[in-house]
Structure 1
Amino acid sequence: MVSDTDLFKDIRPYRDDEVAGAIQRLIHDDEFIGAIAKYRFSTLFGMGGPVIKALIRLYLGWRWRKLNSVRQIQLEVASYMDKMISRTTSGVTFSGLEQIDPTKGYLFISNHRDIAMDPAFVNWGLYSNGLDTVRIAIGDNLLRKPCAAELMKLNKSFIVKRSVKGPREMMKAFSELSAYLRHSIDEKQSIWIAQKEGRAKDGNDKTDPAILKMFYMEGKRQKIPFTDYIKTLNLVPVSISYEYDPGDQAKARELHSKASQGAYEKREFEDVESIVQGIVGQKGRVHVAFGEPLQGEFESADQLAEAIDQQIYANYHLFPSNLLAAGQAVAGHQDEVKVFEQHIAQIPTELKEMVLSMYARPVENKAKVSN
């Protein structure tokens, strides 16, 4: 008999009994080992690449020899997160976690600024407060390399099939995804998903109603009214605020190219570069605000999207970088003013207005709901 979990085998994260095999595949993946060697030992790699890679394989085989469960994988990730936070941020803070019931599964829907760090910081807040971590929605466009798929599925990521073509195939993929979300919530396993496909490169966070319609596909199949089904998903809007975005120049460059040339051609593994940039780049302070679970009477996806946006905007943590970009004074923050001016000074002239607009947009959106 096929279990419920096996119905989702091609999109779900790895289970405990699949961890050891995935680790062995990673250790023997030459591209994965080579990437580590080039990143960590760039000066030595050119002189003795094969030796460096062999040593990395031996080290990882020893370091990961006892990892045989998803929980152990996540504890390993937590140790890296701790180091990353100390090296690349000026502190990470959280609010709203007291509203999260540890006995329930939630559908956390957040604004999207960084491919890997958005769900990572949500997870860090939950983990640091003794709550279970989330299953992470990730597009298959990020999994073109086998090692990327292994790493993501080891860390509780499930696959959103964005690359499918044709209405029938898309309907099948999104129906499966909707059913998996329902299955996870019923298992009391929380989900993280972005409010729209792709990052908000201009800083304007806006929920895509199509995402919410996908949530409801399983409810529609069960002939449950939209407003009743949405209540069962325990949907929580999450606002993630970065004092500085390590990818601000890259985002502005893409926007500038589209504005000036009408198009932007993404390099083959540009998304992977963005992930690395987001992890190692300086972020300043970071705040993650967990909103209130949505339990209103929402008759449509558009109405629900508006309610999500209102919470995300209201819960932004505005840093001096946001206020200064919006042309507001920040008395008593001279050090922050200096850092901001230095940051903007290093941005190419043709991109400055776009970067400033990117940082100012949360101020404008928060003002909309505050008024």
Structure 2
Amino acid sequence: MSSEPPATNDEEPTVTCSELLEQIEDEEEELDRERALYGNCDVDTCTYSQGYVRRQALFTCMTCSKNEQSIGMCAACAYHCHANHDVNELYTKRFFRCDCGNTKSGHQPCKLYLNKDPENTLNKYNDNFRGIYCTCKRPYPDKESTTSDDEMIQCIICEDWFHSQHLGVSLPMEENETNQMDMICQACVTEYPFLAFYDEIRGMITPPAENNATACLLSSSEKNDQFHTIFLRDGWRRRLCRCEQCSKLYDELKLTPIFDDADSIQEYEKQALAKSENLDGDKILADSLENLGYTQKLEVLRGINEFKKTLGDFLREKANGDGVLTAQDVTTFFAGLQEKRQERQRTMFMPPDNCKF
């Protein structure tokens, strides 16, 4: 007969060191995504003075959107002026000027930039500013959705977001998962029919390696009146026809800025990541400590160093043992830190904060 006690459902939950590392890596990946989206944001300065920003992360305030008025604001205003409001993220949108504090926001003043124009006449608003998306005109996330597949894809022209199952076509299956693809919705292809010729997935047109500026690439292409959602491979802007006739058409339709490589979300994220990676962590810490008293600074720095050393010793000890962490292990670790700090306070003389020496 086995002497081992029977297993119960009340056993201590455990996590291996490798599982802990995987969780940390997942958190770092999520942080990278946030940095790619918000790395260009200054959360203390309104972007209004920059005019109609080429691309920026935008937010809309449902609390201030009265009488079907759509309002969009920069990250700084969402943080400082609408902190306790019902605010929705809009990801990024192009050529938009912050509405916070103008007539669209009612009596809600902007705390960061006074005396704004009553209205930003060049701003464009779609259903997203009212909290609905896609052809189904539903919110995101949709709490009433009956399917778990809630993937959303943004059209690069109208910048609305669409459920993958509402695009009218199947998603392309790319062998190389790192290959970025852009989507143009059916409504935009219908509005700008020439875009249908660039549906590379269906091979409707294959521009030559060197684009001849005098010859139109579309002149010999077969006309197609069947307009549907299209997908474009990375680098598609460089393969667009740039003949005189097409270039003039892009200008007339106000599509020229969209057809510039600098407009791509990939370029925006690249710049945002570069900006966030250049942040000096030591400088941020130094700035945070600047207003503290001398003894408070010593305590903070001592605590940081002690935590790093204790955590390293703790993880090495566990890795050299059975490699398993339990919830009790984590509780014991932090309790030990607190006990050490209290013991130091009892045995060590600490001068008052206003002591000058």
Larger Rg: 2
* Structures share fold, TM-score greater than 0.5: no
Q: TM-score, normalised by structure 1?
A: 0.19
Give the helix-richer structure, 1 or 2: 1
Q: Does 1 or 2 have the higher relative contact order (CA < 8 Å, sep 6+)?
A: 1
